[in-house]
Structure 1
Amino acid sequence: MQLYSFFNSSTSYRVRIALRLKGVEHEYLGVNIRTGGHRDKQYVNQVNPSASVPAIVDGDFHLGQSLAIIDWLDARYPEPRLLPADAGLRARVLELSTLIGCDIHPVNNLRILKYLQDVLKVTPEQKDAWYRHWIAEGMAGVERLLAQAAEAYGGPWCFGAQPTLADCCLVPQIANALRMGCDLDAFPRSLAVYRHASEHPAFVAAEPRRQPDYTA
């Protein structure tokens, strides 16, 4: 199995965590999205038609989009489960995961920030204000969902005693927000999950600075 990834991509980071949690052996292939590697014709035609990272290649099977990849991994390598079998809990995990994956991440990813900067010609200060606004908006929702989850499930993770897809999504989002200088003190439950994860071997191994294509 091959993972096409970029060290600082939060969507790639999600999949790296899932692979590590499940102990799935894979080859890491770096795709530099800063220099447009994800738009290379061969990559788009042969690996990922979405022209993005991450992507998984397993023999003749190719798959992009992090949430689809993690769902596929869960079906193929069911232990430990990242999408719970219980319908209610599964729905709650997906609720939080898609809040991050659909509401927070898309408006703040690299291509959006580059468009703001290069095409719309916003100032660095305006770009930073954009980023911080959408982080604050989205993380407020995450924090409320985590408060409900704490009452229902307890535990140090988003939903109880074991990490789920929600943790795979939350940890990279917080890492990016901290890297961009966002003040997250208003979101103590989210930070508690992040700090707990920072001591788990799978989450540590998936960190951007530990990837072979890492650059400072």
Structure 2
Amino acid sequence: MKLYNYFRSSASWRVRIGLALKGLDYDYAAIHLAKNEQFAGSFAEQQVSHLVPALVLDDGQWLSQSMAILEYLDETHPEPPLLPQGAVARAQVRALAQDIGCDIHPINNLRVLRYLKNDLGQEQTTVDRWYRHWVATGLGIVEQRLAATAGTYCFGDTPGLADCLLVPQIYNAQRFECPLDDFPTVMRVNAACLALPAFANTHPGVCPDAA
């Protein structure tokens, strides 16, 4: 498999974590979003959304959207599982993952921040305020959910789908200097995850394209 990703892309890191948890090998293909490489060459021709990550399977098929890729990996390589047994538990894990992947990340990703600054003419301080507002709002919800579900990790004592999304989001929040003191459970789980090789060894700081 080949994974097209950008080292600072939280969506890309989610998939790197998932692949590492599954023990799966892949070729790392860098797409530098800040240099607009997503709009050029064969990547742009294949990935019509111009977004990372994209996972190219051994037979040449392309998969996109990080959560779809993670669930594909879980269906095709079921051990160790990213989702628990039982329909209710699986729905709860997906809900927490979507609190991050659908309610925090999309309105704070690079193309949105660029639009706010470049097209709508907002000052950087205003863009940063936007970012921090939605991080705080979203993590407030995540913190409340984790109070009921967390063990060592988001759901019990085994890392899974929700953890794959949580850790990259916290990395981005820290990059933007978001206050995080109000989210002690979130930060405890984040620290526990980062102690695992699957998270630490896929960190943006150790990626081949890290600047």
Aligned alpha-carbon RMSD (Å): 0.9
Q: TM-score, normalised by structure 1?
A: 0.95
- Write out aligned runs for 1:45-194 (5 A): 45-46=45-46, 48-58=47-57, 59-150=59-150, 155-194=151-190
Q: Which runs of 5+ in 2 are unaligned?
A: none
Partner deviation per Cα, 1:132-159 (whole Å, 9 max, x = no partner): 1001110000001101214xxxx20000
CA distance in 1, matches of 2:26, 2:73: 12
Deviation (angstroms), 1:41: 4.6
Equivalent-residue separation in structure 2 for 1:74 and 1:23 (angstroms): 12
Corresponding residue SS for 2:28: strand
- Matches of residues 6-17 of structure 1 in structure 2 within 5 Å? 6-17=6-17
Q: Which runs of 4+ in 1 moved over 3 A?
A: none
Moved more, 32-41 or 123-132: 32-41
Matching residue of 1:202: 198
Deviation of 1:166 after TM superposition, in Å, equals 0.2
Structure 1: stretches of 5+ with no match in the other structure: none
- Encode CA deviations 1:79-105: one digit per residue, 9 max, x unaligned: 111022321110110000001010000
Q: What's the CA shift string for 1:89-124, capped at 9, x where partnerless?
A: 101100000010100000100110111111111111
Q: Distance in 1 between matches of 2:48 and 2:123?
A: 32
Provide the rounded CA distance (Å) in 2 between the counterparts of 1:41 and 1:200: 36
- Percent of aligned pairs with the same residue? 46
Shift of 1:38: 1.2
Q: Judge which range, 77-86 or 203-212, deviates more.
A: 77-86
Letter in 2 for 1:203: F
Q: State the Cα distance separating 1:60 from its structure 2 match.
A: 2.1
SS at match of 1:213: coil
CA-CA distance at 1:44 after TM superposition: 2.4
Cα distance in 2 between the residues matched to 1:156 and 1:25: 27
Deviation at 1:131, TM superposition (A): 0.5
- Cα displacement (A) at 1:206: 1.0
Give, as a single letter, the amino acid of the residue that structure 2 aligns with 1:89.
A
* Amino acid in the other structure paired with 1:104: I
Question: How many residues were matched structurally?
Answer: 210
Question: What does the per-residue CA deviation read over 1:164-202, in whole Å, with 9 as the maximum and x for residues that have no partner?
Answer: 110000000001001110110000000001111111011
Structure 2 length normalisation: TM-score? 0.97
Judge conservation of contact 1:39–1:52 (CA < 8 Å) in 2. no
Q: Which amino acid aligns with 1:49?
A: V
Report deviation, 1:49. Answer: 2.0
